[in-house]
């Protein structure tokens, strides 16, 4: 007979009570309640898995659930599942306590059998089922009744559960509350300052339950709330490694000790992998880092050797079974909880550091030591972008190996992070010169790369100095016609051109092209590239004919290259540049002809679905559209979109771009409905792929609203804008400038639709926010006040509008008394006199305009356009007030200023024509003022002068001149001078 299970202890399945400091987790408890609800009948035992890191609160949540819903179940059993003996002992305890007359049962299966046969609504909590080696399925009752909650670090147990939920950090408010409960004995005596510090501590601990409990117990014992963050920064490992027997949940093991138990269960390979990751950033570690490294690593004995893909999967499964690492299968990336990552760093210290640096070097790949153009494909660039936070995490000051420094500097250079590349490479260049000498190939190559860094970072002088030195050394060591020497001449010429030393650049480029043709051949990609650069320099110098002649020879060479069966892909890129230059020279038909050949070759050599072919198709559509061949462009764009969808999938960002281009083409052809339909589908894809809160989606939503409004679909546009406003509030916050702008815009649109009450509500809240955030005198607040008064007046609430206007008037006066008021504020205040005049409050308008003009002269000067505009406004107000002499004096002084500043016959450019129009207006106003003063002859003389100026400056057939001619004829007739009037009207005919 089999003996009693060695793990058996009498009464061991009695369910413990949860800690009395249990806090929050209502969302999780609600999910459990809903899952185990009576009405959710199933044909098998209901099983729910709570999984996550050790210390995430799984057990306490399960216990709190059993406490709250005890009456819901016929019996509750608690099984500790860290070992098989314990599981078997638990089932034996169930048999001994539940089966009548079998207190002497000897086999654990009796308990499992009883549960399977006993058709009741019992609940088993299987706690701490972390060991992936235990076949847990074997220990689950096989029946159509009963309930099971499993708590585990192993997400793979989800395959035996009906529903799973991962636990990690708590919501911030709950996390702070949990910390406070453990840190303070008297919760009602906590000060605001203590609460704020507690919030900072909770945030630093990522609201992780066990860390909060442990920190709270330590703070309570040491009375060190205000010192805790400093201690955590300087003594993290010691703080989080020590358990406490004083914890209110009676769990004495520390957080680090809990994770150390999981570490002990891992295979050596898994420990090594986690140790490597400890030196990287905790988020988005690309699997490609290790895959690319292994491709260049022939160490078969390494766990990441030739069969690395299978081995890496095994390692991941091992680590993930304890929730120590999270795996994103879609992006092929690994992630760690920040606290786990810090624990790993504390644990491994400097171990594995050299190994991960070596993997980074190998992931960069074999770096050519030839002095040629180094060009990465797009995949490399994207990989380097993903790698950058992990390279940064390695820390510049800790890297000593020269090869590692070179590889990391190379990553930064390709990402245009020049400052980081300089930090890595400047000291390395000094080392190379000392150890290898100036003429060594590696030194020359590194100087070449360093010059690239200087050039990209805008340090042209430094780049030029290095390139000149490099050029001289290359000539001496390698010879005048060596490929590397030619490459350095090319780079030196480009740097000179960037620094506008164009003549020097031209001299170098001309001799370089001749040498390249002789040494490499006319159709070599470097020769083509250098010829292209020479043509661009000639264009810059205005030597268009020479540039054109060069482009023609380049065009002929390009066509010969394209006739080859398999032209080099980089050569195709050079020819693509030739197309751009031809277009710049206005040779659009020649450009199109070359593009057509280029696209044909690209399809043949690379295939229709190659990214470069798709790119060239896109460029071709743009050329066709520029030539007015819109229908052909549209047809090509439609075909391009279909191919792109097939290759990339409907939700690739490139598809979004090409869909947008097709919509624009349809809109240009007047096919607005089709364009709108396409843009609506584009918006939906953008929401699904990028998310509703992505900046591109927000832009497309705004754009769609504007297009709907332009199509007369105002209500749909408004609905979109309202959703956009809600998103802005949620994502950016109600007080973010972008949100405030959207509120103002929404209010104006509602007002335009006659929905003034809704506009008023928005404007009122916006004004209060502006006052609180920006102050009463800020331009945005003044603008908001003005808009609100307009709405109140439109609503028929003049008294309230008046109250706001008085306030606005007082604030405006205060602002104008300042020494240096903001110019935008002056613009806002300028609108107020207009409102005051419209209300018949002309005197107040006049006083404000006087102050505004005085301030404008002081701040901007008498000849500033805004000051002159304000002078004109004040003259108009004086005329309305019946003070024509003062108006005349002001108008005459303004006219003199305008003539002095702009000239009597100011040049007819766009901006200056606008200023000239102002001159005409002032002169006209002055003439009218003279007429008001019964100085008719002087007024007429001024108007005749104005007409002559208009003819001379704008032309006799300009609409403005024609209008003035007719006006003059009418005035002459009114004076009885009909002959002169007739002559003018005859000229008009």
User: What are 366-376's pLDDT values in tens digits?
Assistant: 544 433 334 44
Q: What is the mean pLDDT of residues 260-272?
A: 83
Q: Output phi, psi for 333, to 5 deg.
A: -130, 155
Rg (CA), the chain: 40
User: What are 387-427's pLDDT values in tens digits?
Assistant: 888 888 887 555 666 777 778 888 888 777 888 888 888 88
* SS3 state at 821: coil
Does residue 709 register a pLDDT over 90? no
Tokens of 734: 């109600």
Does residue 779 register a pLDDT over 80? no
* pLDDT value of position 379: 59
Lowest mean pLDDT of 331-345, 587-601, 940-954, name the range. Answer: 940-954
pTM across the whole model? 0.51
CA-to-CA distance for 897 and 865, rounded, in angstroms?
Answer: 10
User: What are 809-832's pLDDT values in tens digits?
Assistant: 677 667 666 655 655 566 666 667
| Burial class (CB within 10 angstroms; exposed 0-12, middle 13-18, buried 19+) of 282 | buried
Output the CA angle 313-315-320, nearest 5 degrees: 95
Bigger pLDDT: 982 or 125? 125
Percentage of the residues of the chain whose pLDDT score is greater than 90? 4
Ramachandran region, residue 272 (left: φ > 0; alpha: ψ -120 to 50; beta: rest): alpha
> For the chain, give me the number of helices (H) and strands (E)?
44, 8
Q: What is the mean pLDDT of residues 789-803?
A: 76
Does residue 156 register a pLDDT over 80? yes
* pLDDT value of position 904: 47
The secondary structure element, H or E, covering residue 291 is: helix 287-295
Does residue 23 register a pLDDT over 60? yes
* pLDDT value of position 708: 81
- Of the pLDDT bands very low, low, confident and very high (cuts 50, 70, 90), residue 484 is confident
Does residue 294 register a pLDDT over 90? no
Q: What is the DSSP letter of 170?
A: P
* pLDDT value of position 905: 46
Contact 492, 469 (CB under 8 A): no
CA-to-CA distance for 964 and 947, rounded, in angstroms?
Answer: 6
The secondary structure element, H or E, covering residue 151 is: strand 147-152
Does residue 626 register a pLDDT over 60? yes
Q: What is the mean pLDDT of residues 440-459?
A: 78
* Residues recorded for the chain: 989
Question: What one-character-per-residue DSSP string does 73-133 give?
Answer: SS-EEEEE-SSHHHHHHHHHHHHHHHSTT-TT---THHHHHHHHHS-S--EEEEE----TT
CB atoms inside a 10 Å sphere around CB 851: 16
Does residue 66 register a pLDDT over 90? yes
Does residue 301 register a pLDDT over 60? no
* pLDDT value of position 348: 84
Bigger pLDDT: 777 or 7? 7
Q: Which of 539, 632, 521 is nearest to 578 (CA)?
A: 539
Average pLDDT, the chain: 77
CA-to-CA distance for 975 and 983, rounded, in angstroms?
Answer: 15
* pLDDT value of position 248: 47
* SS3 state at 52: strand
* pLDDT value of position 292: 76
CA-to-CA distance for 391 and 414, rounded, in angstroms?
Answer: 13
Highest mean pLDDT among 79-83, 245-249, 302-306: 79-83
| Burial class (CB within 10 angstroms; exposed 0-12, middle 13-18, buried 19+) of 882 | exposed
* pLDDT value of position 647: 72
Does residue 581 register a pLDDT over 80? no
- Of the pLDDT bands very low, low, confident and very high (cuts 50, 70, 90), residue 299 is very low
Highest mean pLDDT among 146-160, 203-217, 297-311, 893-907: 146-160
* pLDDT value of position 928: 65
């Amino acid at each position: 007979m089999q003996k009693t299970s060695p793990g058996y202890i009498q009464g061991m399945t009695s369910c413990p009570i949860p800690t009395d400091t249990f806090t929050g987790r209502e969302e999780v408890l609600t999910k459990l309640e809903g899952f185990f609800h009576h009405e959710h009948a199933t044909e098998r035992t209901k099983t729910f898995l709570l999984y996550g890191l050790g210390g995430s609160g799984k057990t306490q949540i399960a216990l709190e659930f059993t406490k709250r819903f005890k009456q819901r179940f016929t019996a509750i059993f608690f099984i500790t599942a860290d070992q098989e003996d314990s599981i078997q002992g638990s089932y034996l305890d169930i048999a001994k306590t539940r089966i009548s007359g079998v207190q002497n049962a000897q086999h654990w299966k009796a308990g499992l059998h009883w549960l399977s046969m006993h058709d009741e609504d019992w609940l088993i909590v299987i706690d701490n089922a972390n060991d992936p080696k235990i076949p847990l399925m074997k220990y689950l009752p096989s029946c159509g009744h009963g309930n099971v909650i499993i708590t585990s670090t192993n997400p793979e147990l989800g395959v035996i559960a009906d529903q799973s939920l991962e636990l990690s950090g708590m919501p911030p408010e709950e996390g702070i509350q949990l910390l406070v409960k453990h840190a303070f004995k008297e919760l009602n005596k906590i000060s605001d300052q203590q609460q704020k510090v507690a919030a900072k501590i909770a945030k630093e601990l990522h609201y992780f339950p066990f860390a909060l409990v442990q920190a709270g117990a330590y703070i309570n014992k040491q009375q060190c709330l205000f010192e805790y963050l400093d201690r955590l920064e300087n003594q993290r490992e010691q703080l989080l490694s020590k358990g406490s027997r004083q914890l209110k949940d009676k769990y004495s093991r520390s957080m680090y000790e809990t994770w150390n138990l999981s570490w002990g269960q891992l295979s050596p390979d898994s420990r090594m992998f986690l140790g490597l990751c400890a030196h990287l950033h905790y988020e988005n570690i690309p699997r490609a880092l290790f895959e690319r490294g292994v491709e260049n690593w022939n160490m078969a004995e390494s766990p990441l050797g030739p069969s690395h893909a299978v081995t890496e999967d095994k390692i991941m499964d091992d680590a993930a079974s304890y929730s120590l690492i999270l795996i994103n299968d879609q992006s092929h990336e690994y992630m760690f909880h920040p606290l786990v990552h810090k624990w790993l760093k504390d644990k491994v210290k400097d171990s594995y550091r050299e190994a991960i640096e070596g993997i980074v070097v190998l992931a960069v790949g074999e770096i050519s030591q030839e002095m040629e153009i180094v060009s990465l494909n797009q995949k490399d660039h994207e990989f380097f972008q993903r790698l950058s936070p992990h390279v940064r995490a390695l820390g510049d000051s800790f890297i000593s190996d020269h090869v590692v420094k070179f590889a990391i500097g190379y990553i930064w250079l390709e990402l245009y992070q020049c400052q980081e590349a300089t930090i890595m490479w400047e000291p390395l260049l000094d080392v190379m010169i000392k150890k290898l000498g100036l003429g060594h190939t590696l030194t020359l190559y590194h100087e070449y790369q360093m010059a690239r860094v200087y050039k990209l970072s805008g340090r042209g002088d430094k780049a030029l100095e290095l390139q000149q030195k490099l050029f001289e050394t290359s000539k001496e060591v390698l010879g005048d016609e060596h490929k590397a020497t030619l490459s350095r001449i090319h780079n030196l010429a480009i740097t000179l051109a960037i620094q506008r030393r164009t003549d020097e650049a031209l001299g170098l480029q001309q001799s370089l092209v001749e040498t390249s043709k002789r040494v490499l051949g006319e159709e070599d990609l470097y020769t083509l590239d250098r010829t292209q650069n020479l043509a661009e320099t000639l264009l810059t110098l205005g030597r268009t004919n020479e540039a054109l002649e060069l482009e023609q020879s380049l065009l002929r060479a390009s066509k010969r290259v394209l006739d080859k069966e398999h032209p080099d892909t980089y050569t195709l890129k050079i020819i693509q540049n030739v197309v751009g230059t031809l277009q710049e020279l206005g040779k659009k038909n020649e450009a199109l002809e070359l593009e057509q050949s280029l696209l044909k070759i690209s399809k043949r050599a690379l295939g229709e679905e190659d990214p470069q072919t798709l790119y060239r198709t896109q460029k071709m559509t743009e050329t066709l559209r520029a030539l007015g061949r819109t229908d052909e462009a549209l047809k090509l764009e439609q075909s391009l979109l279909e191919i792109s969808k097939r290759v990339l999938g409907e939700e690739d960002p490139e598809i979004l771009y090409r869909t947008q281009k097709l919509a624009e083409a349809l809109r240009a052809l007047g096919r607005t409905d089709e364009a709108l339909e396409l843009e609506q589908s584009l918006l939906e894809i953008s929401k699904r792929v990028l998310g509703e809160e992505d900046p591109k989606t927000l832009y497309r939503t705004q754009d769609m609203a504007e297009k709907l409004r332009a199509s007369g679909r105002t209500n749909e546009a408004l609905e979109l804008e309202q959703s956009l406003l809600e998103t802005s509030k949620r994502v950016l916050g109600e007080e973010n400038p972008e949100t405030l702008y959207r509120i103002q815009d929404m209010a104006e649109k509602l007002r335009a639709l006659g929905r003034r009450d809704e506009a008023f509500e928005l404007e009122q809240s916006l004004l209060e926010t502006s006052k609180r955030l920006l102050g009463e005198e800020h331009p945005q607040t003044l603008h908001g006040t003005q808009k609100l008064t307009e709405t109140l007046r439109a609503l028929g609430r003049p008294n309230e509008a008046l109250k706001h206007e008085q306030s606005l008037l007082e604030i405006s006066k205060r602002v104008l008394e300042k020494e240096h008021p903001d110019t935008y504020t002056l613009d806002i205040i300028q609108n107020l006199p207009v409102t005051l005049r419209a209300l018949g409050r002309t005197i107040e308008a006049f006083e404000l305009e006087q102050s505004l003009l005085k301030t404008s002269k002081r701040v901007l000067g008498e000849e500033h356009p805004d000051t002159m505009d304000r002078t004109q406004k004040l003259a108009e107000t004086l005329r309305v007030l019946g003070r024509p002499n003062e108006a005349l004096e002001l108008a005459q002084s303004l006219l003199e200023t305008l003539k002095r500043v702009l000239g009597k016959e100011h040049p007819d450019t766009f901006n200056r024509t606008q200023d000239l129009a102002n001159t005409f207006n002032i002169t006209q106003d002055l003439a009218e003022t003279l007429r008001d003063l019964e100085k008719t002859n002087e007024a007429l003389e001024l108007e005749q002068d104005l007409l002559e100026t208009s003819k001379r400056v704008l032309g006799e057939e300009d609409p403005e001149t024609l209008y003035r001619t007719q006006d003059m004829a009418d005035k002459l007739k009114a004076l009885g001078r009909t002959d002169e009037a007739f002559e003018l009207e005859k000229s008009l005919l």
